[in-house]
Structure 1
Amino acid sequence: MTAHGEDVRDGDGRAESDSPSEPASSPETIEVPAARERARAIPEAAVARLAVYLRVLSGLRDQDVTTVSSDELATAAGVNSAKLRKDLSYIGSYGTRGVGYEVAVLIGQIERTLGLTRKHSVAVVGIGNLGHALANYGGFPSRGFPVAALFDLDPDLVDVPVGGIPVSHIDDIVEVCREREITIGVIATPAQGAQEVCDRLVAGGVTCILNFAPVVLQVPEDVEVRKVDLAVEMQILSFHVARRQQEAGVAGESEVDGADIGPPGTGVRVPDEFDSVNGMVERL
């Protein structure tokens, strides 16, 4: 079944339109014929959940599970069934009534949507404690993101292998990134050097950057940047702890505004779409 005018059903064979709480998909998602256009119509929050579904499905495949129902997949991914069915409607649903989704088929569809069928190579810049850990993280290559280049300023680190890859000097970022066809750059440097590193990565042809430095990077419009600020994540977690204590009637040292996460008067708020905070390991 596809989203091209045919009957779109969920993993249990139910038509998406049968769900009173969730529409099958947005009109533009159904009307566009090309998979590329359909992917562009997927909301960013749904893209993040697709990555979670893929992780769950990959685990099921490793356990030799061949089919999974929408309820089972939703529970394992931590979402409700209606949200899962709508997310999968963006890419087309492949389910059979009474059987569910074929795990292998759904994995392939999500991988194509997320661009995981293409070749990716990762460069990590800044081989301190965080960069060293990222360079050695086995989850990258196992999920299709092999680390192909490492960079640092420290002359004592240059040419020293980390995770089997010799560290190069940051002066060589442009040349090495072009030679090794780096598609994703990871910045794990202090804030003061992050923009220069970013500029070098972009000059080397890198169009996707994962930024761990506590700074907002300035990039061209065709460069995608994802920022991971661990301090902000901790502050958001603190907000949720304080809110739960308040709801339970536990008195803290100070009152916490149910919507504010920063010091009084800062106006720092949790985005409406923020449902939960994934752990750092789960993000990677």
Structure 2
Amino acid sequence: MTEEKDKIPAGLIHPTAIIDPRAEIGAGVKIGPYAVIGPNVKIGDGTEIMSHVVIDGWTTIGKDCRFFPSASVGSEPQDLKFNGEKSYVIIGDRSVFREFVTVSRATGEGEETRIGSDCLFQACTHIAHNCVVGNFVIMSNCAGLAGHVTIEDRVVIGGIAGIHQFVKVGRNAMIGGLAKVVQDVPPFVIADGQPARIIGLNSVGLSRAGIPENVRRELKKGFRILYRSGLNLGQAIAEMEQELDSSEAVEHLMRFLRNAERGICRGSKE
């Protein structure tokens, strides 16, 4: 047993685990049978690494995360442009990675794949290179993010849904199972279908997130302008600027729409 392993309290690390002596392992970290930890990995206090997990690359993991059997984090990206450059995976606190989850490090020297805190990634989900995932995100079984996807806070993604590269999904949005998302999904809405269309406001999610009723009314008014008025995106933004009472949520929605480089998903009645 290496000197570094000797620093970890007895019983927290299985004797079959392979831990590079250069890895930085925090206090109270549990590492299960046959797990492999690479030389440039940093693992925060209280995190649990279960059997057969592989954590490699320049990967930094926060406190109290859990990695279930056979998860793979920090491996080289599935990207033909990757040429062996130094790139990163950065993960916040208290996130859970179930069986066979894969998280790729970024393409591009010094670039990052970044995941926030308090997320749940169910079995077989995939987070590709250069993705940015916020806090309190849930990805259901077998959902996948292609490269350079941005997922804002409190998004829920249904099982086997696929998000196209460079797409952005706004906060508090919900993506239905099996959805094929090829354009940006605005905050606070529900998207479903192949290709995905916007089918309504995520009213239940907004209520659960504690957004006040008066703000929810303004968001509902904004949804009707955006998807029921027959206006194009530029016209809808101008109308919303005139008609909606300002709030943090409304301003976030407007900012998202102004910066939707791929265009936004169309409505179900368009």
TM-score > 0.5 by shorter chain:
no
| Larger RCO (alpha carbons 8 Å, 6+ apart) | 1
TM-score (norm 1): 0.28
More helix by share: 1
Structure having the higher Rg: 1
